[in-house]
Amino acid sequence: MVFITDLNFKPKGVSPLDSSNQSKKTNNESIGDAKAGGNRSSVTVIGLGPMGKAMVSAFLNRGYKVTVWNRTSGKADELVTQGAISASSVNEALASNELVILSLTDYDAMYALFGSVSEKLYGKVIVNLSSDTPEKVREAAKWLTERRAWHLTGGVLASPSEIGNMESVTLYSGPSDIFEAHRKTLEVLTRTDYKGEDPGLAMLYYQIQIDVFWTAMLSYLHALAVARANGITAEQMLPYISEILYTLPKLLEFYTPRIDTSKHHGDVEKLAMGLASIEHVVHTSKEAGIDASLPAAVLDVFKRGIASGHADDSFTSLIEIFKKSSARP
């Protein structure tokens, strides 16, 4: 473990995966406040898009004193009428509270905001709920550590309307002691699911789930485009698509142990059968005058699986094709 015992010490050669380098500092007052959660009834929120606004409202509804800042200051007006305090600058927003929550487009936006005021980050707990890649998150955690701040990664698996609802969840990773100190405050927003010390781990879990979400939702839209081209409404299709989705958890349970053990037996279905099925979907789309690029992309993956000798294996063998994708020209 790395302990920062010199205020002039700047970590060199420390792996960003060793997030314990964020959890120890020598300023006794600062470390005591951070681990005690500081003033848990006070928080700063930077970034007032739909998600940021929803977070501010949730905190206000629970009696928190909330300082807000947004590059477009007018976005704070409605929140001020609800009781929020609008900071005039990033400096003022940082100075207002130890716990600072970011709701930005990506991590580059954080650097754009904090780059010129990095000396103000000392002792702050930055909870970044913005989306980005796991590696960029690890780099940001290291950058904040070098400026004597703590970093918690958050991946919000909820829409703005679901903030404040304990049925929703946010994934967190980073120093465990800092997370525990601020858990109750973070649970004002959603349930919390702590994934570990590695700052990139919460973002990895998040992006994997978003991969499933957007791919599934895009297939839903494509299917409805085909339906509507044939005079069938989304409302008419709703029970049928819902029924297909209802079967998926059982399929996942069945295939999960096979995937984890790389046992792609073709005893239930074969890739060659799936290829024919996807070809029919592509042809049906074209007959309806609908862009077939999405099912065509799926068909391409199936064809590559067949070409790799998996015709008699389960479609789960396609995971091996994805693993080889980096070698494609």
Q: Which amino acid is at 299?
A: L
DSSP-assigned letter for residue 190: S
**Tokens at residue 274, please?**
């799936």
Q: How many CA atoms lie within 13 A of 185 on its CB side?
A: 28
Domain range annotation of the chain: 19-197, 233-327
pLDDT value of position 326: 55
- Which residue in the block uniquely carries the two structure tokens 């007006």? 77
Angle between helices 134-146 and 201-229 (to 10 degrees): 140
Instruction: Look up residue 201 and give its two tokens.
Output: 């781990």
* Residue 325, both tokens: 């994708």
The share of the chain scoring above pLDDT 90, in percent, equals 85
Higher per-residue pLDDT: 324 or 266: 266
Superfamily of segment(s) 19-197: NAD(P)-binding Rossmann-like Domain (3.40.50.720)
The number of CA neighbours under 13 Å toward the Cβ of 266 is 14
**β pairing state of 42-46 and 65-69:** parallel
**Residue of higher predicted confidence among 326 and 318:** 318
User: 146 pLDDT band (50/70/90 cuts)?
Assistant: very high
pLDDT at residue 278 greater than cutoff 50: yes
Q: State mean pLDDT over 274-290.
A: 98
Give the pLDDT confidence of 49-107 residue by residue, as tens digits.
Answer: 999 999 999 999 999 999 999 999 899 999 999 999 999 999 999 999 999 999 999 99
Judge contact between 130 and 102, C-beta under 8 A. Answer: yes
Which pairs count as long-range contacts for 174-178, CB under 8 Å and 24+ apart, including other chains?
Answer: 174/19, 174/22, 174/141, 174/150, 174/199, 174/202, 175/19, 175/20, 175/22, 175/23, 175/150, 176/23, 177/23, 177/35, 178/22, 178/23, 178/34, 178/35, 178/125, 178/150, 178/152
- pLDDT on residue 85: 97
Model pTM?
Answer: 0.85
Tell me: the pLDDT tens digits for 174-208?
999 999 999 999 999 999 999 999 999 999 999 99
- Look at 278 and 18; give whichever has higher pLDDT: 278
Which CATH class for the 233-327 domain? mainly alpha
Q: How many CB atoms lie within 10 A of CB 127?
A: 26
Q: What is the pLDDT of residues 32-42, one digit of tens each?
A: 455 545 555 99
At 11, is the pLDDT very low, low, confident or very high (cuts 50, 70, 90)? very low
